[in-house]
Structure 1
Amino acid sequence: MKIDLKEILTATMVLFAVIDIVGSIPIVLKLRKKAGHIQSEKAALVALIVMTLFVFVGESILGVIGINVYEFAVAGSFILFFIALEMILGVSLFKDDDTLSKKTVSVFPLAFPLIAGPGTLTSLLALRAEYDLMNILIAVVLNILLVYLVLKTSRHIERFLGKNGIAIIHKVFGVILLAIAVKLFTANIQELFK
C-alpha cells in the first residue's frame, strides 16, 4: 500500500463530483423542510460505512454474479455519463419520494442513495481497478468530511452562494463528471479487450 497524493487528489475529486453534495444543497434543504431535522452525523456515518464496505466487498459481490471490475466500470461509466448529463442539462431522471420519515430521512434517502448512491459505488469500483486501496479509503474519508461540513452548514452555503451560484457549481461539476465518465470508459474498455 503506497500513499500517492496524486491518486488521493484524483479519487477525491471523482467522488466529490459524483456525490455532488454542493449541488445537492437544494435537495438537502427540501429534505430538512419535509422532515423537520436532518442528523448530519448519522447521514455521514452511514454513507461512510456503505462506501467503505463496498470498496472491500463490492468486487467479491460482482465475482459471485460473474462480472469483473472492468465490466462493472464500463457499465458504471454509462451511469456517470447520464448523471453528468442530468447535471449539465438540468433534467431529473430520479423520482422524488414523498413518504419521508423523520427518523429515517438521514439514512434514506440522504445517506443512501443521495450520498452513497449507484454513481458513487460505481466510481469506487472503477477507482479500485486503477488506484491503490489506501488512497481510495483516504479519498472516501475526505469526501465524507466534506459531506458532513456541507450538511451542517447547508443553509449558510445556500445564502452565501445563492441559487445562481449553486446552479453554476452544479453545471461545472457536471462537465467534470462527464470527462471522468469518458476516461473511465476508455481506460476500462481497453482492459476488457486485452
Structure 2
Amino acid sequence: MTYFNFNQILSVTMILFAIIDVLGTIPVIIELRSRVGHIQSERASIAALVLMIGFLYAGEAILKVIGLDIASFAIAGSLVIFIIAMEMILGINLFKEEMSTTVSIVPIAFPLIAGAGTMTTLLSLKSQYQTQNIVVGIVLNTIVVYLVLKNVQWLERLLGPTGVNILRKAFGVILLAIAIKLFRSNTHL
C-alpha cells in the first residue's frame, strides 16, 4: 500500500515551483495576452497538468518510441523560449496573430509551464520520490499557475504600462539566458 508523504510532497512542490517559475513568466503572459486579447486560464492549466502527469508516466517511453532523447527535447523547447525572449526584447512579433485559439497551449502550457526543464525534472524526481507525491506536487503547482493566469489583468494594472514594459525587457533577457543555458547544457559541441 502506498502512502502520501508530506515531506516528499513539500519537496516536489518547491522544486517544481522553482522550475516552472510562473511568477517569472508573468511578463511573457502579459505580452501574449496583449496580442491575442484573452488567455484561457483553465485550458492552459489543464493542458499543463495533463502534459506533466502524462510525461511523468510515459515520457521516457514516448521519447524512445519516436527516437528522441531528452536532450533533443530540451533543445527544441529552448528554441521556442529563445524566440519568445527575442520578441520581448526587440518588440517584434514572430508568432502569427491568428494563434489566439491556441495561445493557451503553445507557448503557455508548453513550453513556458510544462517545458523541457519541467519534463526533465519530472523524470529526475521520479527516481527519488514516490509517484503519488509527485502527482500531488504537480496539482499544487497547477493551482498556482491557474491563479496567476486568472489574475494577470490585475497584475498588469498593478504594474502599469511602464512597469510592464520594464519587466518585459528584463525578463526577456532572463528568458533568453535560460534558453541559451538549456541549449548549451543539452548540446555536446
The Cα offsets for residues 31-88 of structure 1, whole Å up to 9 and x where unpaired, read as 34xxxxx764454233322332134323322211211112322333333333322222
State whether residues 80 and 177 of structure 1, in contact with CA within 8 Å, keep that contact through their aligned partners in structure 2.
yes
**Which amino acid letter does the alignment assign opposite residue 169 of structure 1?**
L
Q: What is the deviation of 1:126?
A: 3.9
The 5-angstrom pairing of residues 97-108 of structure 1 reads: 97=98, 108=102
**Which amino acid letter does the alignment assign opposite residue 163 of structure 2?**
G
State whether residues 55 and 128 of structure 1, in contact with CA within 8 Å, keep that contact through their aligned partners in structure 2.
yes
Structure 2: which 5+ runs fail to align?
none
Specify the alignment match of 1:31 in structure 2.
Answer: 37
The 2-side partners of 1:188 and 1:166 are apart by 32
The Cα offsets for residues 100-131 of structure 1, whole Å up to 9 and x where unpaired, read as 6xxxx6xx432x124212454333334346x4
Specify the alignment match of 2:20 in structure 1.
Answer: 15
Number of matched pairs: 177
Cα distance, 1:13–1:167 mapped onto 2, change above 3 Å: farther
Specify the alignment match of 1:181 in structure 2.
Answer: 179
Q: What is the deviation of 1:17?
A: 6.1
Q: What is the deviation of 1:143?
A: 4.4
State whether residues 14 and 177 of structure 1, in contact with CA within 8 Å, keep that contact through their aligned partners in structure 2.
no
Specify the alignment match of 1:161 in structure 2.
Answer: 159
Q: How high is the TM-score relative to the length of structure 1?
A: 0.67
The 1-side partners of 2:172 and 2:76 are apart by 18
Specify the alignment match of 1:115 in structure 2.
Answer: 108
The 2-side partners of 1:188 and 1:77 are apart by 10
Q: Detail structure 1 runs of 4+ shifted over 4 Å in the superposition.
A: 1-11, 134-143
The 2-side partners of 1:50 and 1:158 are apart by 28
Specify the alignment match of 1:95 in structure 2.
Answer: 96
The 1-side partners of 2:156 and 2:142 are apart by 19
The 2-side partners of 1:136 and 1:166 are apart by 34
The 2-side partners of 1:145 and 1:73 are apart by 25
State whether residues 49 and 142 of structure 2, in contact with CA within 8 Å, keep that contact through their aligned partners in structure 1.
yes
Q: Which moved more, 1:155-164 or 1:120-129?
A: 120-129
Q: What is the deviation of 1:164?
A: 1.8
Q: How high is the TM-score relative to the length of structure 2?
A: 0.68
The 5-angstrom pairing of residues 64-75 of structure 1 reads: 64-75=65-76
Percent sequence identity is: 39
The 2-side partners of 1:45 and 1:80 are apart by 21
The 1-side partners of 2:46 and 2:168 are apart by 24
Structure 1: which 5+ runs fail to align?
33-37
